[in-house]
Amino acid sequence: MSQRILVTGGAGFVGTHLCKKLLQRGHQVVCMDNFATGSMHNIAELLNNPAFGLLTHDVNEAVSLEVDQIYNLACPASPVHYQADPIATLKTSVVGALNVLELARLRNIPVLQASTSEVYGDPHVHPQSETYWGNVNPIGPRACYDEGKRSAETLFFDYCRQFGLPIKVVRIFNTYGPHMHPADGRVVANFIIQALSGDDITIYGDGTQTRSFCYVDDLVVGLMAMMSSLPDITGPINLGNPEEYTIRQLADLVLELTDSNSRIVHRPLPVDDPRQRLPDVDKARRLLNWTPSVPLREGLMRTIAHFKSVRATPVLAVV
Ligand code: NAD
Ligand code: UDP
């Protein structure tokens, strides 16, 4: 059945893909964004669609809307961007969550929170399953995001316990793909732009730290599966690709796929950069029948093709 769906942060990287997919499924979409890190270019092709509405609005300000479901994605996600104004990041995570929860409570509608693998911090347990409570530095430069997202999870579960609100919390692991902003600052965007422009590939630290990389189409399928899951499935549920790579391996793969002559250089490792990260996605498999299908090589090729088609911009780095 067609629903009217609010996507906060809908003009960002993940939000753009989600809005498109929801429209393809016949839903109406209200995209709320303040364009802090999102882009009008991302949603330009959607603006003529009568089922798509754009609301330029800060999620930190309360709003009253007639909607049937909410996906709460509004928050800068790249360390460069979320550390640029840490107080705004923390506020968006917490006050933004409160505002969408209040909107959901008034209408008693399902609300999905885009949480993050950062709630596990620099993990002592590997791979990370949802039962792990994490190892987060509460006063470091990443805390505005990590603790903000942790507090948002707390709010979601308190609204569920206190008001019986149908909540859905997913913990998203590193996701990449077309529509990442060229100045996003995250590793996949940086490496591809550096390789395509012949600039040095900047590995922070020795490159032995690990991540897994989920192609955005796979993530969007997971988000929608979570939203349509049974009401008692609240999460938290990990969504990510269960294949682990070192950052050095990622750099080598990007160099190979772009056929680039860029050199690899090393830069200091940012403070509190997690050493190892890998999702245990068993819960998503069992409860949502979800498993990612796009291999890293394939997803990178699609992302490289996208970046080739947009003008390269200098990369951003954590200082
Ligand atoms: P993004 O920065 O591309 O998108 C975030 C969007 O939110 C942008 O369009 C931005 O303008 C908007 N926004 C920020 N502050 C806002 C505010 N106060 N009011 C309204 N809009 C605001 O990031 P993304 O990668 O698309 O991430 C989307 C969500 O998924 C975020 O909540 C992020 O924490 C979460 N997430 C993403 C990843 C990933 O790897 N992409 C991993 C973990 C969690
Ligand atoms: N990284 C890197 N070079 C870059 C950008 C990032 O080596 O140009 C590293 C970063 O230090 C981290 C990993 O890549 O170890 C992933 O960083 P990203 O900012 O993409 O996401 P994170 O998982 O840290 O939030």
CA distance 194 to 254: 10
Mean pLDDT, residues 21-41: 97
Q: Where is pLDDT greater, at 19 or 318?
A: 19
- Ligand 1 pocket test target in 37, 63, 153 with most atoms within 8 Å of CB: 37
Instruction: Place 311 in a pLDDT band, splitting at 50, 70 and 90.
Output: low
The rounded Cα 180 to chain-centroid distance in angstroms is 10
Of all ligands present, the nearest one to the C-alpha of 220 is 1
Instruction: Please tell me which residue in 120, 145, 215, 245 is annotated as part of the active site.
Output: 145
Per-residue pLDDT, 23: 98
pLDDT at 314 over 90: no
Per-residue pLDDT, 196: 97
pLDDT at 319 over 60: no
Residues in the ligand 2 pocket, defined by CB under 6 Å:
78-79, 174, 186-187, 190, 202-204, 209, 211, 247, 269-270, 273
Compute, in angstroms, the gap from residue 117 CA to the centroid of ligand 2.
13
Per-residue pLDDT, 144: 98
pLDDT at 35 over 80: yes
Q: What is the mean pLDDT of the chain?
A: 96
What are the backbone dihedrals phi and psi of residue 247, each rounded to the nearest 5 degrees, phi first? -65, -30
pLDDT digit string (tens) for 254-308?
999 999 999 999 999 999 999 999 999 999 999 999 999 999 999 999 999 999 9
Compute, in angstroms, the gap from residue 187 CA to the centroid of ligand 2.
5
pLDDT digit string (tens) for 212-227?
999 999 999 999 999 9
**Bridge partners, residue 215, by sequence:** 176
- Ligand 1 pocket test target in 14, 31, 219 with most atoms within 8 Å of CB: 14
pLDDT digit string (tens) for 117-173?
999 999 999 999 999 999 999 999 999 999 999 999 999 999 999 999 999 999 999
| 111-116 and 69-72 strand pairing | parallel
Percent of the chain with pLDDT over 90: 95
Q: List, in order of start, the domains of the chain with CATH numbers.
A: 4-176+214-242+278-293 (3.40.50.720)
Residue 245 is a catalytic residue:
no
Of all ligands present, the nearest one to the C-alpha of 60 is 1
CA distance 31 to 300: 27
